[in-house]
Amino acid sequence: MADFDVIVVGGGHNGLVCAAYLARSGAKVLVLEQRPLVGGAAVTEEPWPGFRINTFSYAAGLLRPQIAEDLELRRFGYETILLEPDVYVPFPDGRSLTLWNDLEKTLTEIRRFSEADARAYPKYLEYWDGVAELLEPFLLSPPVPLSDLMGLVPGAEMERLIRDLFLRSAGDVLDEWFESEQLKASLSTSSIIGTFLGPRSPGTAYVLLHHKLGHINGTEHAWGIARGGMGTISQAIARAAESHGAIIRTSSRVRRIILENGRTSGVETEDGARYAARMIASGVDAQTTFLRLVPPDALDPTFARQVRAIKSQGAALKFNCALEALPDFSADPGAPRAHHRGFVDIIPSIDYAERAYTEARGGRFSSAPFMDCIFQSAIDPSVAPPGNHTMTCFVQYAPSHLADGSWEDAKPAAAETILEVLEGYAPNIRRTILHSEIVSPEDIERQLGMTGGNIFQGDITPDQLFSFRPVPGWSGYRTPVPGLYLCGSAAHPGGGVMGAPGHNAARVILGDHRRRPTADES
């Protein structure tokens, strides 16, 4: 068995961030990734010649700027492009609403629907910017108990914050601020992305905030793309880790975590190879880590029950396409247009999304789904052959498991549903498609090991955040198994291509690694 200080299970972006920080501090680190390429959900692949597709994750912005600076990621190829506009929403009546990073341009758009909403919108942004500013310092540190967090803001202001973030739905919050159904629909999208809840479900107001934490090229609360595709983020982190001596091995699926005298001593891969290390950092989700990789008799039954109870329901599928031309939206004819350079969302109203969610709760793919689409090639021509384009659609709601049949059998019908909906807004969509694929929640679970196909490694709702993530009592990256740590999105502060869980876990591991073992630990 080869000896290492730390073995990182899973070469997703968080595992790579953890490895990079550990190696930078002098630890001997091995990363084992089951797929032939690193990145986990943050990968870019070429399913059709010349078309570079973001198979899973498709938008950049959550990666913490400090991590990019610490690891010198720009030196290793990390480059992002701001989406401008931010969001474009066409409506069935032929109108549309575009939200820009430029406030005045957005207000001009909103005035076409409501003067009152245009007056309220700057105050709405100011409110959420203040909440994001409050929480920002807690992203790159172990989670504090919610009681401590609540003590930071006095009186009525904290009362409102608790109510909005932890008790209310995004729909409730938006109803309080605005009157225009079109604006409310456009703003609600961030509250349901990747979450198996409707915009009227309590807890979705926090999900809305989570997606307000983006930073792109100095623009706060904004989103963008990674030039060349999301995989370039993971590749840059991997190169940074390797520059400090970390060893990364792909096509190396970990079969089990080996324990000796109750603590970790190494891992065994599917091909029978064994690697020794006193410390193991798992970048895969908590349920996979504890219920599949750790010996069953190593866990306290109460802890095992808590892990089984983690909510990790898939909510979406990906519809990835190679296009010969950009779709032409009836509300704003012509292509390319400005809206092709931002998110294009299909969500006529909050009630539309709520109906889609209600339908999926019965185990069916929504017959009229919400979609979040992006045409990366319109901003970054490097991802498609000259004159061609890419389209990726994040489509909800797609339950983890269908009530009738398998996702593999349901894919043709799901693709037809998606195209029928898109055709109502862009009539030429079918004629533009050269190739397409559906990546279902079952595909996400099988290929990435994400339980239920949940892209966040567990829901990012208030009952599974901060000191409750992954389970109460074990939110500090250490686990009940001595020597085993969580460094992926299953740990605080949760999902998205953020890097914070890997950064925070590395700090805890390094502290323990430098501490001289006690007699009980030897």
- Over residues 373-382, the pLDDT tens digits come to 999 999 999 9
Give the model's pLDDT for residue 155.
65
Please identify which residue in the block is written with the tokens 């807890």: 203
| Of 27-31, 152-156, 185-189, the least confident | 152-156
Q: In the structure, what pLDDT confidence band is assigned to residue 518 with cuts at 50, 70 and 90? A: very low
Task: Look at residue 517 and tell me whether its pLDDT is greater than 80.
Answer: no
Residue 510's alpha-carbon distances to 2, 16, 58, 133, 143, in angstroms, are 20, 15, 32, 28, 17
Give the model's pLDDT for residue 521.
41
Give the model's pLDDT for residue 213.
85
Percentage above 70 pLDDT, the chain: 97
Q: Does residue 8 sit in helix, strand or coil?
A: strand
Q: For residues 248 and 416, give the distance between their C-alpha atoms in angstroms, rounded to a whole number.
A: 40
Q: In the structure, what pLDDT confidence band is assigned to residue 295 with cuts at 50, 70 and 90? A: very high
Looking at the DSSP bridge assignments, the partners of residue 478 are 485
Give the model's pLDDT for residue 7.
98
Q: Which two tokens stand for residue 202?
A: 């309590």
Q: Which amino acid is at 438?
A: I
Q: For residues 414 and 42, give the distance between their C-alpha atoms in angstroms, rounded to a whole number.
A: 24
Rounded-to-10 torsion of CA 164, 455, 136, 85: -80
Q: For residues 306 and 498, give the distance between their C-alpha atoms in angstroms, rounded to a whole number.
A: 25
Q: For residues 491 and 514, give the distance between their C-alpha atoms in angstroms, rounded to a whole number.
A: 22
Looking at the DSSP bridge assignments, the partners of residue 8 are 31, 281
Residue 113's CB is within 10 A of a number of other CB atoms, namely 19
Q: In the structure, what pLDDT confidence band is assigned to residue 310 with cuts at 50, 70 and 90? A: very high
Q: What are phi and psi of 249, to 5 degrees?
A: -120, 120
Q: Span 303-324, mean pLDDT?
A: 97
Task: Look at residue 70 and tell me whether its pLDDT is greater than 90.
Answer: yes
The H or E element spanning position 420 is helix 407-423
> What would the pLDDT profile of 156-193 be if each residue is shown by its tens digit?
777 787 888 888 999 999 999 999 999 999 999 999 99
Q: Which of 358, 449, 436, 451 is nearest to 401 (CA)?
A: 451
Task: Look at residue 522 and tell me whether its pLDDT is greater than 60.
Answer: no
Give the model's pLDDT for residue 152.
67
Q: Can you spell out the DSSP letters for 112-131?
A: TT-HHHHHHHHHHHHHHHHH
Cis preceding linkage at 386, omega within 30: no
Residue 239's alpha-carbon distances to 19, 22, 133, 245, 326, in angstroms, are 11, 14, 31, 10, 34
Q: For residues 404 and 408, give the distance between their C-alpha atoms in angstroms, rounded to a whole number.
A: 12
